[in-house]
Amino acid sequence: MEITVNKDELILLILDFLKSQNYIKSLITLELEANVCSENFPEEIKFFRDLIMNGDFDTGINFLELFRKAEKFPYNHCIYTIKKQQFLELVENNNENEVEILVKLSKDIEELTTKDKYNELCYFLTLKKVSDHPEYATWNIYTGRMTCFNEIKQYLRSAVV
């Protein structure tokens, strides 16, 4: 007895498994290699997702500028979400050459959020790695990027017609 399996269906099944297990880096790599996306997004959202997952945060912020004046689009919150991810990645990489970038980013974030949220974020500066924070125990750069994208995706869905 021979079993026939559709290649794309099998890849989608594997992608679903990778996503359910939070193997985000593997998920993204397989999507790129197979030229298959685990979710069906409008072109604009797929473009934004690729930017965030590749760590191209500045271009992602520039892209969101298109939605700044859209009704009910929380522009500042979305920018905060991206800059928070960028901040966490800089903390995680712990590169002394990026201290100036971290300081500038910290100032940008302070203007975008409440004092309490800002202070919570500054707490990460006292840790050796982001996952030392109890609420971020399973965090890594790729799960952080996916979380960042998912948080903004909901707003983009309502803004993209």
Is pLDDT of 55 > 70? yes
- pLDDT confidence bin for 161, thresholds 50/70/90: low
Is pLDDT of 1 > 80? no
Cβ contacts of residue 133 below 8 Å, gap of 6+? 123, 124, 127, 139
Most trustworthy range by pLDDT among 51-60, 63-72, 102-111, 121-130: 51-60
The pLDDT, as a whole number, for residue 23 is 93
Instruction: Name the E strands within 1-125.
Output: none
Average pLDDT for residues 78-103, to the nearest whole number? 89
CA angle 71, 88, 135 (to 5 degrees): 90
**CB-based burial of residue 72 (10 Å sphere; 0-12 exposed, 13-18 middle, 19+ buried)?**
exposed
Kindly report, residue by residue over 92-134, the tens digit of the pLDDT: 988 777 888 888 899 999 999 999 999 999 899 888 899 999 9
Query: Which one has a higher pLDDT value, 23 or 39?
Result: 23
The pLDDT, as a whole number, for residue 112 is 92
**Sequence spans of domains, the chain:** 1-40, 42-159
Is pLDDT of 15 > 80? yes
The DSSP 8-state label assigned to residue 42 in this structure reads -
The pLDDT, as a whole number, for residue 38 is 83
The pLDDT, as a whole number, for residue 54 is 94
Q: Report whether 88 contacts 123 (CB < 8 A).
A: no
**How far out from the chain centre does Cα 99 lie?**
22
Average pLDDT for residues 28-55, to the nearest whole number? 90
The pLDDT, as a whole number, for residue 59 is 97
CB atoms near residue 149 (< 10 Å):
22
